[in-house]
Chain A
Amino acid sequence: MLKTFSLGGVHPAENKLSAGQKIEVLPVPEQVSVPIAQHIGAPSEPLVKKGDTVKVGQLIAKSAGFVSANIHSPVSGIVQKIDDVLDASGYKRKAIIIKTEGDEWDESIDRSPALNKTIVASPEEIVKKVGAAGIVGLGGATFPAHVKLSVPPGKKCDVLILNGVECEPYLTSDHQLMMEKGEEIMVGTQILMKGLGVDRAIIGIENNKKDAIEHLTNLAKDYSGIEIQPLKVQYPQGGEKQLIDACIGRQIPSGKLPIEVGAVVQNVGTTFAVYEAVQKNKPLFERVVTVTGKSVSKPSNFLTRVGTPISTLIEAAGGLPEGTGKVIGGGPMMGKALSSIEVPVTKGSSGVLVVPEAESKRSEVQNCIRCSKCVSACPMGLSPYLLMTLSNKAMWDRAEEGKIMDCIECGSCSFTCPSSRPLLDYIRFGKGKVGQIIRGRNK
């Protein structure tokens, strides 16, 4: 029996249409708009102004606190303006707009494709370099990577877990990266292990990516302390809590972080970025993005610069199909529906999913028939039907008691409900309210 997490879970149709599509490097766009809030934490502080000339990889906005991240220019050219632009969140937020001229990279970046296996950086240097390169969780969570590498005093980390699960349907960017950049991911893993001071790393990969499991298992033979853990296909295995439970059977207590059980989790894409940052001195300004959907003529995996409009990616995948009803930034379970396809790619963009009109509407909501399927599906062991009712009735005490704050917003409950009830919509709202109440109380 393959390992998986212990509670709940669902199995949405995988639809990995772009699986096996080689990573294609997109041309440098004519103009980019680089949001200064691409990560969890404080928005970065712009260091450039209108009219400045910048190179690829040049620092253009600096981290504004411990939980924040540097941002580097994805193109060379001239800063047009710093303006509010619509981003994937659906809000207008500050972004640096750069008009491209040529493709001149910062001299310090090593652009040779040669694999560099020797890790000379010390653990402290690793953490510093990862921070300087502006690396954030590329799986979509966008939590600054160097913060996770700085184990708080009094805590101990004994294992690094790499997330190669890619449990969201449709998405294949991590899969393809593991196939094409396996060696780099191995070295990246060793770098992270050195940075954390652990001698054990586990790469969790779902069993629907047998080629990646085989490929990395072969590569891992040459690297000490790296295990590949095949996992049963089950959503939301890519959730940090679920992944740790699946790989090493430790459950993070309510409200705590992975370090509580001695683990640190990084995504495989993040690990590749760490390799580039530490070994090649290359900051994070480009990433692999899957562009897919049943109506898309050429589902693809693109290597694209941050700040590129999503519309450019869709164009490269064959154009926006007739009768498109929805475009999602990310996967279908946790992604965000975009209000415009002109929003830019950010560090957290793992995919773009184009959904036809017919599939973009929800079914009619019916009464709860108390089938308990949402309860069985919840990976956190919550009672979604009850949390929805409590949120609807504004019974915040009982919602808190029902552990509404433990909800990871995976959507398994809404996905499962035979009455098509919008469980997560209500729970998200309730979470916001209860969160406010808790923060108010702790003041």
Chain B
Amino acid sequence: MNTLTVSPSPHVHGGDSVKKNMYGVVIALLPALAASLYYFGIGALVVTLTSVVSCVLFEWLIQKYLLRVPTTVSDGSAILTGLLLAFNMPTYLPIWIIIIGSLVAIGIGKMSFGGLGNNPFNPALVGRVFLLISFPVQMTLWPKPFESRFSYFNLTPDILDATTGATPLAAMKEGIANGETVSQIMDKLPSFNEMFFGLMGGSAGEVAAGMLLIGLVYLLLKKIITWHIPVSVIGSIFIFTGILHVVDPLVYASPVFHILTGGVMLGAIFMATDYVSSPMSNKGMILYGVGIGVITVLIRVFGSYPEGVSFAILIMNGFVPLIDRYIKPKRFGESVKPLKA
């Protein structure tokens, strides 16, 4: 008789895998990617392809020739980092800058810490923030949806002038600084409806709030993530800016404006929820989410940058080990109900 395998229980596995989760997130990004290609055309295509291909390539090269370990590019995490990085970049960004961003994201953000599972910071955000600091001009040149669709390789000053503009957040910040009231500024900006569909300047994948929300529904249905982080980030931004707005509606924009613009949806749904760099317990996730929300608003309203989601997430990434050390999941039998008499 053949020998029987003797191994400890459990003897069955649920069939979940790293791949399923990574590609699941990629699928959840597809609606927003479609919107991005539709609004930003050639630029979106170039940025996305360059970023994904170079992230995968850098991961493969580093693992094969530098670390000499088995490559893990097939697990989908490099593709995901590439996509997320692309989503966080404006679509007129030159190819060489995208490649540098990918190298920083994969090389420094991920591999230098020991690869998938060990990176304390979200790799795509590491890449993005590096670029923002190194190339502030190129990283804040915002193509307008539709108008910029057919331009990328033919960027003359005229075209540039005609097809780019400020993001709503930047316009708001500047307007307030110039003494305009919120409602005066809002009159010049797209309506909330248009913002919901993404008809405004911004990074390739961040503009279409509606599409990102479809992605959220998919992630929740597939149980890839739980509601705790997205809800606490969006909720705390809404509440915080809501309070400010009630206190002084002339200088503080409405909470709806804040959650529809900039990177809130992309950040809350896809960046802050990165498994590796977010907390492990539900309570910890909520604390982390609220932290991101509060820091984002502080930067947006009181800081010098118009947008703060990326910084807020990176800062809270840094607190994750502390959160996990001190905030434990709810234990069984912890809160004992008294016996009924």
Contacts and interface: CB of A to CB of B under 8 A. Distances in A.
Interface of A: 6-7, 10, 12-13, 90, 158, 169, 241, 245, 249-254, 256, 261-262, 320, 324-328, 332-341, 353, 355, 359-363, 366-373, 375-376, 378-383, 385-386, 402-403, 406, 409, 411, 414-420, 422, 424-425, 428
A383 B10 contact: no
Contacts of B115: 367
A324 B4 contact: yes
5 contacts: A249-B337, A261-B336, A326-B5, A360-B11, A409-B9
Interface string B276-312: 1111111001000000000000000000000000000
Q: Which 5 A-B pairs give the minimum distances between C-beta atoms?
A: A411-B10, A367-B117, A381-B331, A418-B16, A251-B333
Contacts of A376: 226, 282
A335 B12 CA distance: 11
Interface of A, helix, strand, loop or mixed by DSSP:
loop
Given A326-B5, A334-B10, A372 B333 contact: no
A310 to B, nearest CB: 11
Interface residues of B, number: 45
A369 B275 contact: yes
B2 A418 contact: no
A409 B9 CA distance: 9
Given A90-B6, A337-B5, A363 B17 contact: yes
Contacts of B249: none
Given A367-B118, A411-B9, A372 B280 contact: yes
A333 B11 contact: yes
A402 to B, nearest CB: 8
Contacts of A245: 332
Given A332-B9, A360-B5, 17 more contacts: A12-B12, A90-B6, A261-B336, A324-B4, A326-B11, A327-B4, A337-B4, A337-B9, A359-B12, A369-B117, A369-B276, A372-B285, A373-B16, A380-B331, A411-B10, A414-B10, A419-B17
B18 A241 contact: no
A361 B5 contact: yes
> Which residue of A335, A337, A425 has the most chain B CB atoms within 10 A of its CB atom?
A337
B154 interface: no
A249 to B, nearest CB: 7
Of the candidates A261, A340, A418, the one having the most CB atoms from chain B within 10 angstroms of its own CB is A418
Contacts of B275: 369-372
Contact of B10 (A6, A332, A372, A406): A332
B331 A403 contact: yes
Given A169-B12, A249-B337, A362-B13, A369 B332 contact: no
A441 to B, nearest CB: 22
Nearest to A429: B8
Nearest to A328: B11
Nearest to A338: B4
Nearest to B331: A381
A380 B5 contact: no
A70 B228 CA distance: 53
Interface string B1-45: 110111111111110111011000000000000000000000000
